[in-house]
Chain A
Amino acid sequence: MLTRPYFGIAKQPRGFSALLFLAALLPALLIVPAMLGDLFFGSSWLGSDPTKAGEHLLGEWTLRFLFATLAITPLRHLTGWNWLAKHRRTLGLFAFAYVCLHLLTWTLLDVQLIVSEYVGWADVWKDLTKRPYITIGMLAFVLLVPLALTSTRAAIARMGKRWRVLHRLAYVVPILGVIHYLMAVKKDIEEPLVYGAVLAAILLWRARIASQRAAVA
């Protein structure tokens, strides 16, 4: 059997859920008002191009929440804090919320569909179909939608085994996200490579745990 060091926190500390929720909300509470403030109210938090800066930050936070969701199982394994398990849903839904903000920023503030008289649906369609990094980003978003929709207890109960199969997409989406990031940058691939390395580490860690479990069983 594997040892489970509890570090004296066998049960979830009081107020943890609320704290996690607020912590997860905090980046959006900072980024979105800063971006809108810079664009429309004369503040200067995000530099000379607040749209791009905000859009990129929201994208990066999406990846971080996707990674955090996948890191829960290894973390439980390491610490024995099994109470972390139920927070996978919170983190996953926050990833979805951040990608929605990222996508909204792209559509309305960056590309300016609806907003700009010079941009139409045809332009966005061209972006989606002719620019591989956007196609891949959009695919990642689309795959995340059913995961968000089936995140309720009722859906888990109703779907049974199929739920587990469907939610394997949680591995696919962050991989697509990192590829999207890598393809979006020009030559400054250092940061997306760091994200890729972190994701690879989490996935390898999970694979190791899975193989240990298989060996025990």
Chain B
Amino acid sequence: MPNTDLPSSEITPEGVYFDRRKFLTAAGLIGAGLVGGATLPLSPRSAGAQQQEQQQRSLGTPYGLQPTDVATPEEDVTSYNNFYEFGTGKDDPAANAQDFKARPWTVKVEGLVAKPGNYQLEDFLKPSKVEDRIYRMRCVEAWSMVIPWRGIMLADVLKRAQPTSAAKFVEFTTLMDPARMPGQRYPVLDWPYNEGLRLDEAMNPLTLLATGVYGKDLPNQNGAPLRLVTPWKYGFKGIKSIVRIRLTATMPKTSWNLAASNEYGFYANVNPEVDHPRWSQATERRIGMFRRIPTLPFNGYAAQVASMYSGMDLRRNY
């Protein structure tokens, strides 16, 4: 089994995987090596391909990756972002978030919990095990990436807060500070950004509160210092720069749903059969690769999450 406790110093030096095209070409050669951490190759591979596979493993434990999935180059992960608090263009966040200070940072846990709290980020993270996990990421705009996250399980945080029996949902809120987040000076969305999960979704072992990518602290443009990662849902569920986690009895109002409810639902589970009104969700373009690939139900995580939605009409609850 892959080692999940590698310190960042053990991770392959950046220079090795900076040459994205070489990386991606080699990707075609790896074959099935990554599925669920399996190590048996389907065919003999070149030394180069083997090296690539090791490299990928050193980034974290793969979860739900398909045979052809390789980590999207760090350069793309950290320069192609939707983070409207720093501008609506894909390269705006990387350009405008440089001076953002993500420390000191406090996180409030409140609402229907036995143990509410207002934590310094360090204290908030300290009791939990930090893990490196490679997840697929599917944006509602029909592009996708494969991202090596670092983070803690949200379930761990919630268990410590002890939700009351009335708690049914978890609401997340981004920092509201137009002086530090210039995008909030424009009424593009109803600030601050708000997201939510059903309690069982929040408790799912896949749900992460990420603190890093590629073995390093989250860059500001990726949602420093703390963001949500739910790999079976469209990327906009992954709320960034979280300052508040609140347990509620009713479904939280979420930002994109408020902005365009016909286009963005509360659940936002990746579903190739339910089109966005303006484009098909049947296929996706993987950043760094040319050819479209089929979009998978729940983004390839059906085995881990589909049971939470049994009996639900996923066309209506998009």
- Give the B-binding residues of A (Cβ under 8 A): 39-40, 42, 47-49, 51-52, 109-110, 112, 115-116, 118-119, 123, 126-127, 130-131, 133, 183-184, 186-188, 190
Known contacts A118-B282, A131-B278, A188-B89; is-contact A47 B79 (Cβ 8 Å): yes
Interface residues of B in 86-118 (CB under 8 A from A): 88-91
Q: In the complex, which residues of chain B have a beta carbon less than 8 angstroms from the beta carbon of A118?
A: 282-283, 292-294
Q: In the complex, which residues of chain A have a beta carbon less than 8 angstroms from the beta carbon of B293?
A: 118
Q: In the complex, which residues of chain B have a beta carbon less than 8 angstroms from the beta carbon of A40?
A: 290
- Which residue of chain A has its CB nearest to the CB of B89? A188
Partner of B280, one of A48, A109, A127, A190: A127
Main secondary structure of the interface of B (DSSP, over half): loop
Q: In the complex, which residues of chain B have a beta carbon less than 8 angstroms from the beta carbon of A109?
A: 290
Q: In the complex, which residues of chain A have a beta carbon less than 8 angstroms from the beta carbon of B291?
A: 112, 115-116
Interface size class on chain B is 20 to 34
Is residue B287 within 8 Å, beta carbon to beta carbon, of the partner chain? yes
A-B contact pairs, 16 of them (CB 8 A): A42-B20, A48-B75, A51-B290, A109-B290, A112-B291, A112-B292, A116-B291, A118-B292, A118-B293, A123-B282, A131-B279, A187-B84, A187-B259, A188-B88, A188-B89, A188-B188
User: What is the minimal beta-carbon distance from A181 to any residue of chain B, in angstroms?
Assistant: 13
Using a Cβ cutoff of 8 Å, how many contacts connect chains A and B?
A: 61
A48-B90, A187-B188 given; 6 more Cβ-contact pairs under 8 Å: A47-B80, A48-B76, A49-B285, A130-B275, A131-B279, A188-B88
> What CA separation (Å) do A119 and B283 show in the bound complex?
8
| B280:A123 contact, CB within 8 angstroms | yes
Is residue B189 within 8 Å, beta carbon to beta carbon, of the partner chain? yes
Interface residues of B in 242-294 (CB under 8 A from A): 259, 275, 277-280, 282-283, 285, 287-288, 290-294
| B285:A51 contact, CB within 8 angstroms | yes
User: What is the minimal beta-carbon distance from A106 to any residue of chain B, in angstroms?
Assistant: 11
| A187:B88 contact, CB within 8 angstroms | yes
Interface residues of B in 9-45 (CB under 8 A from A): 20-21
User: What is the minimal beta-carbon distance from B273 to any residue of chain A, in angstroms?
Assistant: 13
> What CA separation (Å) do A186 and B188 show in the bound complex?
10
- Give the A-binding residues of B (Cβ under 8 A): 20-21, 75-76, 79-80, 84, 88-91, 141, 143, 188-189, 259, 275, 277-280, 282-283, 285, 287-288, 290-294
User: What is the minimal beta-carbon distance from A22 to any residue of chain B, in angstroms?
Assistant: 29
> What CA separation (Å) do A129 and B277 show in the bound complex?
12
> What CA separation (Å) do A115 and B285 show in the bound complex?
13
| A48:B79 contact, CB within 8 angstroms | yes
Q: In the complex, which residues of chain B have a beta carbon less than 8 angstroms from the beta carbon of A184?
A: 278
User: What is the minimal beta-carbon distance from B181 to any residue of chain A, in angstroms?
Assistant: 16
Q: Rank and list the top 6 A-B pairs by shortest CB-CB distance, nearest first.
A: A188-B88, A48-B80, A42-B21, A48-B76, A116-B292, A187-B188
User: What is the minimal beta-carbon distance from B124 to any residue of chain A, in angstroms?
Assistant: 31
| A49:B280 contact, CB within 8 angstroms | no
> What CA separation (Å) do A40 and B288 show in the bound complex?
10
- Which residue of chain A has its CB nearest to the CB of B84? A187
Known contacts A42-B21, A118-B282, A131-B279; is-contact A48 B288 (Cβ 8 Å): yes
Q: In the complex, which residues of chain B have a beta carbon less than 8 angstroms from the beta carbon of A188?
A: 88-89, 188
> What CA separation (Å) do A110 and B142 show in the bound complex?
11
> What CA separation (Å) do A118 and B91 show in the bound complex?
29
> What CA separation (Å) do A184 and B64 show in the bound complex?
32
User: What is the minimal beta-carbon distance from B74 to any residue of chain A, in angstroms?
Assistant: 11
Q: In the complex, which residues of chain B have a beta carbon less than 8 angstroms from the beta carbon of A42?
A: 20-21
| A49:B188 contact, CB within 8 angstroms | no
Q: In the complex, which residues of chain B have a beta carbon less than 8 angstroms from the beta carbon of A110?
A: 285
Q: In the complex, which residues of chain B have a beta carbon less than 8 angstroms from the beta carbon of A51?
A: 285, 290
Q: In the complex, which residues of chain B have a beta carbon less than 8 angstroms from the beta carbon of A131?
A: 277-279
- Which residue of chain A has its CB nearest to the CB of B292? A116
| A126:B290 contact, CB within 8 angstroms | no
A109, A116, A123, most chain B CB atoms within 10 A: A116
Known contacts A47-B80, A48-B80, A49-B80; is-contact A187 B189 (Cβ 8 Å): yes
> What CA separation (Å) do A116 and B88 show in the bound complex?
30
- Which residue of chain B has its CB nearest to the CB of A112? B292
User: What is the minimal beta-carbon distance from A50 to any residue of chain B, in angstroms?
Assistant: 9
> What CA separation (Å) do A186 and B287 show in the bound complex?
20
Partner of B143, one of A49, A130, A186, A187: A49
